[in-house]
Structure 1
């Protein structure tokens, strides 16, 4: 064991090694528990050694997001735009699901890194080379929002115990006042641990919504849709 520890210490410390160790540590202990001191202990170095490679924790977090982004599969050559976009987004989702802390960190950044911009540029390029106008592509990006990164934010947080509390209250409160909510809530058996509600299949729901969006985008592309002349803010 002592020899192994010495071998680890002899391994040159690089920025890439620091970032990858931080990603692995965050996966293990959670992003809230991650600190420069804890990371230094993991790498077998003094904390000051880390600052030669990352200026501070914020820079560390930004670099960690880039590492996760690097796990996204490259675009498939020669694919149709819809298949290419779908595969790219679902690959991004796999990367962010594998590192549950990464979406939170990405959304906390004040500006995208070149790595994030490169990913966005590739997705935008798929629409443009697929026959979408700049105008339609602009609105497509707004419609996708964070879903482009494989990330969605549900309306209500399904925190532990919340579903069981709701189920206990529902028979006394919901059946009469909110009949359609109760009808829908009781219509589907849900799996444990789902973000969209206990038992909802997160992956299925994500792909369901993504496919609806992609199909709608294709319909607009075929129609030659343009926002020019469209009225705004009139509930059309």
Structure 2
């Protein structure tokens, strides 16, 4: 029986999936219209029927990584919902660490990305935060999740790595830093993330409670 050589037609989603595969294996700097075309077995010019340029691919990568976040379930409180969202974002970023620079430097642009922004703002507004407070909360929370994930999971080349030799420092001049030598050996970066997340949520709750109380006075 003769096998069909019919190629799957190009689409925006197929292009973005191919681009994500390139990024996952080769890094963000490898992305170009030509490289994505090679991955798909087509000329780069064919891509322009579905994506306008490289920037559109980068915006799409932002989108499809967020699309891997599990669907939000109804939470008992805004704190639980925000905590779940932060953890879910961290998980997909850890799954695609080469995309971290996108989340550190680019805003959500496509409707499929902005829908996550809309949902978070709606959650915060219903909780009682003002529009400005909701924006600040979202921005700071995302910055914490992305920044902490960059610090812990951003890929590095072996020749770029540098590890501090704390144990070689003077104990007299750096007594507290010397204490870290033993602590770091058993330090859990995920517990550190949870520590920071809980501290942020506690601070936000306290701020909201104070503002609501001041309104009643």
Q: TM-score, normalised by structure 2?
A: 0.80
Given that 1:73 and 1:88 are in contact with CA atoms closer than 8 Å, whether structure 2 keeps it comes out as no
Change (3 A) 1:60 1:145: closer
Larger mean CA deviation between 105-114 and 33-42 belongs to 105-114
Q: Secondary structure at the match of 1:177?
A: coil
Q: Which residue of 1 aligns with 2:15?
A: 18
1:178 aligned partner: 174
Q: Hey, what's the Cα distance between the residues in 2 that align with 1:54 and 1:178?
A: 54
Q: 1:220 aligns with which of 207, 210, 213?
A: 207
Whole-angstrom CA distance in 2 between matches of 1:35 and 1:11: 21
1:165-196 residue CA offsets vs partner (Å, 9 max, x unmatched): x22xx344342211112212432315xxxxxx
Structure 1 match to 2:120: 123
* 3-state SS of paired residue (2:179): helix
Bigger relative contact order (CA 8 A; separation at least 6):
2
CA deviation digits over 1:37-89, x for unaligned, max 9? Answer: 22212211122111211122121111111111111223322531111111112
Take 1:142 and 1:22, find their aligned partners in 2: how far apart are those partners? 27
Q: Map 1:159-170; keep pairs closer than 5 Å.
A: 161-163=161-163, 166-167=164-165, 170=166
Deviation (angstroms), 1:227? 10
Aligned residue pair count = 208
TM-score scaled by length of structure 1: 0.74
Written as runs of structure 1 = structure 2, the 5 A alignment for 1:144-163 is 144-147=141-144, 150-153=145-148, 161-163=161-163
| CA contact 1:96–1:102 (8 Å) conserved in 2 | yes
* Separation (CA, whole Å) in 1 of partners of 2:33 and 2:91: 27
Unmatched 5+ stretches in structure 2: none
Task: Find the aligned partners of 2:213 and 2:118 in 1 and give their Cα distance.
Answer: 21
- 2:195 aligns with 208
**Structure 1 contact 72–91 (Cα < 8 Å) conserved:** yes
* Native 8 Å contact 1:135 1:226 kept in 2: no
Distance across 2 between alignment mates of 1:14 and 1:135: 38
User: Structure 1 residues 96, 189: CA separation in 2 closer, same or farther (over 3 Å shift)?
Assistant: same
Question: 2:59 touches 2:109 (CA, 8 Å); kept in 1?
Answer: no
More helix by share: 2
- RMSD across aligned C-alpha pairs, in angstroms? 3.0
Matches within 5 A, 1:187-202: 187-190=183-186, 200-202=187-189
